[in-house]
Structures are given as structure tokens and as C-alpha cells.
Structure 1
Amino acid sequence: MSVSGRIEKALEAAFTRVGTSDSPPRLAAGMRHAVFPGGARIRPRLTLAVAAACGEDEPALVDFAGAAIELMHCASLVHDDLPCFDDADLRRGRPSVHKCFDERTAVLAGDALIVLAFQILALGSTQPQRLGALVTILARAVGGPAGIVAGQAWECEDAPDVGLYHRQKTGALFAGASMIGAAACGAQHDAWRQLGETLGEAYQAADDIGDAESSVEALGKPVGRDLAFGRPSIVAQFGLAGALQRFDRLVEEAIASIPSCPGVNDLQTLIITESRRLLPKQHWQRAA
């Protein structure tokens, strides 16, 4: 099965295994709307890529770990789109959850997806001795001290720290994705933190560039939000040329940070190829 097929199968299984027959219909529908159909699934793809590079021995556990990461990401998008934050009408080319349903349903759907991520790790664990590391990695990637919750909270501050904002809002979950892929294989996961954090910074740089230069049709979500809301942005801080240079440097640093592993060459090639897709099309040649 392809990587994409494995991720979608695990996400569907997450909803099936916890059951939604007793769930309020709007909540169940809101949760599914947030997850299916998905976007590029970049974070779970990173999880599976790291696991493959480490020589995965439990594919089912890896798949559930990747699905847990994606559920956390989807939950963060639901909350990010809320009127109290971005007030975004579109996500992935469709109405955002609060626009399709209502704000109360969106808040609860995001909360439920966070809990579901932990549920599927527990239900899908084929290696109980690895569960502690998996849960700890996921919690740290999301929690208040330095996870995506903290990253979102920087938008509530009068003088946000741009570096911390990006490392937490974006880099934390990328770090979690890479580390959880290694941990699902029983590999030493701390060594993979730097790869995820650096890729997360590169992704955020590309996202800032897209927000400044791309279109609603290309991104499937509103653009120009950083400027409209006065949010921290690499483009605002360094200009477009500086943002592009920073993106290039971060991709190089990510490749250099890959720990020694059986599949290091394949992973390096994959990162080079996938990084091209992050930028608006007019800049694809730069990352080729």
C-alpha cells in the first residue's frame, strides 16, 4: 500500500475503532469534516518516512502514530480558523468547520480530535513498551509549555517572539512527527528532534511566503492574513528575498541534521523533492 493509502486507512480506522454511533451528529460530522478529505498530510508522511529510514518493524503502530499526528494537526486548524483567531471561512478549499456548522461545534470538534489522537495511540499499540514514549512525544508537541498550543497563544501577546512563535506553532508538531516515527520503531527518538524542528521552520517560512504571494485558489484558504492581522511573519521580518533565502538554508540544515540510519540517502532525496512543493509555483525552480 502507498504511503498516502496507509495514512488514510489509519485515519478511517481511528474513527471506526472509537465509534461515533452515540455521538451527537453535528459533532461527529464536524470532526470528519475537519479530517476528510485531507490536505497534503505532510506531517504523517514525515512520520512514515522517518520510520522507513529507521527500518520500521511494526507498520501498524507507525500508521497509527502518523494518524495521531495528523489528528492533532487537523484539530489545530479547526481552532486556528475560529472567529477569535483567524476568522477564516475556507480551509482546504471548503468552508471551515465553524462556517459549515457553527462556532460551538467547531470548538468541541477540535477538542475531540485532540483526545482521539491519544485514543488511537492506546488502541492501536502493538508494542506496549513503546507507548509511553509515543504519548509523551505527542503531548509535548501539543501542550502549553512549547507545543502548538503555546504557538497559538503567541498570537495573543502584544510583542510576540517570532522565533518562538514559529518553533512552537509549526516546528513543535513537525518535531513530534519525526520523533514519533522513530519511537514507533523503537529507535532513539531524541536524535530526530532537530530534523523535525528545522523542517517545521522551513514549512512556516514557505507558508508565510504563500500567504504573501499565493492565491486562495492555490492554497485553498484565505491569503494575506499575516498582514491583515499583524501576525509575526518571515516575509514581514526579512522581506521576500530574505524569506526565500531562509527557506533554502533551512532545507539544507534539515538534510544535514538527519541522524545515521539505514535509509538516510532515501530520506535526504525525499526531503529535497518534497521541499519544492511547499513554495508557490513561481519559486519551484529555486528548490529543485
Structure 2
Amino acid sequence: MALEERVEAAIAAAVGFGLGPDAPPRLAQALPYAVTPGGARIRPTILLSVAIACGDDRPGLSNAAAAALELIHCASLVHDDLPSFDDADIRRGKPTIHKAFNEPLAVLTGDSLIILAFDVLARAAEDAPGRGLGLIRTLAKRSGMPDGICAGQGWESEPTVNLSAYHRSKTGALFIAATCMGAQAAGQEPEPWVELGSRIGEAFQVADDLRDALYDAETLGKPAGQDTVHARPSAVTELGVPGAIRRLRDILSGAIASIPSCPGEAMLADMVRAYAERMTPVAPAAATSPMRARA
């Protein structure tokens, strides 16, 4: 099975756990709506790539980890789009959850996806409790406080923002989870994989800042110019467009150098190079790649 198909199958199976004949119908509709279409699925793809590079001796556990990570990411998007945060009308080219359903259901959808993510991991952990517990702890750490994605959202309410800490938690945290959880699912220690995830995450955030500044809403599949509208910290604001592009390239070069020794090291280096090409901004008129537009 191709990696893309494996990711989608794992996510579909995970969402299935959250549905049932007695579930509230509209909330049951909102869960799959929130996770499809899935954009680039970068985080679960990185997770499975690391697991494969490390041996992937328990693919069922790797699949569950990939699905759980994507559910957390999708939940964060649902909450980010709420009127109390970005008040966005469009996500991945279609109405956001609070527009397609309503605001209470959007809150419940995000909450349900978070809980479902940990349920999926707990189910898969029965055959490998030690690895499963480590995966649950890593996902929890990178989702909450003090340095997970909740912390990243929290930085937007502070009068003074540490840009590095903001990027590391808001975006980098789930990329760190991707590399560490991929290693853990394959029975490896997660710590050596933190730097790779951190660098990919920082690069992705810088690229996102550039897309937000350079592209329009049609290209992005979501509102553009949100960093300026919400006065959020941005690599473009701090460094300018040329400086942000240089920073992006420097980060990705460091990411390749940080890959730990493993059987699939060369494959992972190729993966990072591919992401470097896709993330580097192009002229807005040519920015039509789905990965650029809907990650």
C-alpha cells in the first residue's frame, strides 16, 4: 500500500471509532467533515516515514499514531477557525465547521477529535503497552502546555511575543510529535528525533507566514493576510520576505543534517528535500500546488 493510501486508511478507520448508530447525527456528520479533504497530511506522512526508516515492526501501532496525530491537528484547525480566534469562513476550500454547522458544534467537534485521538492510541497500545504509553505521553506533551499547540495559541494573547517560542509551540510541536512518535512506534527512543521535528516545524511556520503574506484566499483555500489582520507575530514582519526565504532555506539545510542515524536515513533526507521544494514560495500566480495551498 502506498504511503498516502496508508495514511488515509488509518484516518478513516480512526474516525470510524467516533461514529455509531446512537451518536447525535449532526455531530457525527461534523467529525468526518472536519478531517476531509485532508490537505497534504504532512504530519502523519512524516510520522510513518520515520517509523519506516526505523524498521516499522508494528505497523498497526504506527498507523494508529499517524491517525491520532492528524486528528489532533484537525481539531486544532477547527478551534483556530472559531469566532473567538481567527473567525475564519473557509478552510481547505470549503466552509469552516462553525459556518457549515454552528459554533457549539464546532467546539464539540474539536473536543471530540482530541478525545478520539487518545482513544485510538489507547486501543492500539494493547499489543505494545510500553510503546503505546510513550506515544500517548508524547502526543499529550506536544498538544497542551507548557510548550504544545495550546501554548502556541496562548502566545497570541500576550502583549509581548517570543517569536521562536511561539513558532516552536504553535507549529513546531506537532512536527516534533511526528518525528518522535514515528521513532517510538518502531521501538526507538524519541529524544534524538526532537531536533528534526523542530526544524521541519519551524520551516513550515516560516513558509506559512510567507504564504499568508504573498498569496490570496483562493490560492490558500483559507483567508489570506491573517497575520496582519490579527497582529500576529510573523517571520515576514520580523525579517521581510527575502529574509524569511533565506531563513527557511537555512532551517531546512539544518533539518537534513539533524537526521539521526537509521536504516532509512537517506530516504528521510530525500523527503526533507522534497518538502523544501514544496514549501519554498513561488510567484503567487504560479502557486497552485495542493500542498502549498492547503497544508
TM-score by length of 2: 0.94
> What is residue 293 of structure 2 aligned with on the other side?
none
> What is residue 283 of structure 2 aligned with on the other side?
282
> What is residue 14 of structure 1 aligned with on the other side?
14
> What is residue 246 of structure 1 aligned with on the other side?
247
Distance 2:154 2:85 in 1: 10
Distance 1:140 1:12 in 2: 25
Of stretches 246-255 and 7-16 in structure 1, the one that deviates more from structure 2 is: 7-16
**Is 1:225 paired with 2:226?**
yes
Distance 2:23 2:44 in 1: 26
Distance 1:19 1:102 in 2: 19
3-state SS, counterpart of residue 124 of structure 1:
helix
> What is residue 292 of structure 2 aligned with on the other side?
none
Distance 2:27 2:17 in 1: 17
> What is residue 111 of structure 1 aligned with on the other side?
111
3-state SS, counterpart of residue 156 of structure 2:
helix
Distance 1:223 1:135 in 2: 34
* Per-residue Cα deviation, 1:92-133 (whole angstroms, up to 9, x for no partner): 001011111111110110011000000000112332221110
Of stretches 70-79 and 213-222 in structure 1, the one that deviates more from structure 2 is: 213-222
**Is 1:56 paired with 2:56?**
yes
Contact 1:49 1:267 in 2 (8 A): yes
Contact 1:210 1:279 in 2 (8 A): no
* Residue identity matched to 2:26: R
1:275 CA drift (Å): 2.0
Contact 2:118 2:136 in 1 (8 A): yes
1:18 CA drift (Å): 4.1
Report percent identity of matched pairs.
50
Contact 1:56 1:185 in 2 (8 A): yes
Please, which runs of 5 or more residues in structure 2 have no aligned partner?
A: 287-295
> What is residue 166 of structure 1 aligned with on the other side?
167
* Per-residue Cα deviation, 1:159-213 (whole angstroms, up to 9, x for no partner): 1211111100000110001100000000111110110011000000000000000
TM-score by length of 1: 0.96
**What's the C-alpha RMSD, in Å, of the aligned pairs?**
1.3
* Residue identity matched to 1:263: G
Please, which runs of 5 or more residues in structure 1 have no aligned partner?
A: none
1:276 CA drift (Å): 1.4
**Is 1:137 paired with 2:138?**
yes
1:274 CA drift (Å): 1.9
1:17 CA drift (Å): 3.0
Contact 1:214 1:280 in 2 (8 A): no
Contact 2:17 2:116 in 1 (8 A): no
* Residue identity matched to 2:102: D
